[in-house]
Amino acid sequence: MPDTLLAEKHKELLTVGRKIKKTRQGEVIEEIEELDTNAIKSGLDMGYKLKGHYAPEKHKIEAEIEAKEGEFHPEDEELRLEYKKKLLENIQKRAKDKENGKNNN
């Protein structure tokens, strides 16, 4: 859906109305027109979802893994060692910066 069409439909949805008739004993005693807020909300929500304008949904993933060094799959072991190396580099850099008077907290 092009952005221009979405904007046009968005504008239409902001003014979409619905008629409400109040009846008594089968006779219409009052008829009013008001904004259909459910239609507006649903239409806008769908449009924005289709366009990907919402922030991605967050998912929390928790896992407990126990493994001794050498028990990892070779690719996982490579990642573990790379992470360990980067972590040590960061710790050493912060220690060096602290010694040189650069406190980057």
pLDDT in tens, 5-59: 877 877 777 777 788 888 888 888 888 888 788 877 887 788 788 788 888 777 7
Q: Which residues pair with 22 in a beta bridge?
A: 30
CB-CB contact of 82 with 89 (8 Å)? no
Each domain of the chain, given as residue ranges in start order, spans 3-51, 66-105
Q: Alpha-carbon distance 87 to 13, whole Å?
A: 52
pLDDT over 60 at 98, yes or no? yes
Adjacent-strand bridge partners of 31: 21
Residue 93 CA to residue 91 CA, distance in Å, equals: 5
pTM above 0.85, yes or no: no
The whole-angstrom distance between residue 84's C-alpha and the CA centroid of its chain comes to: 31
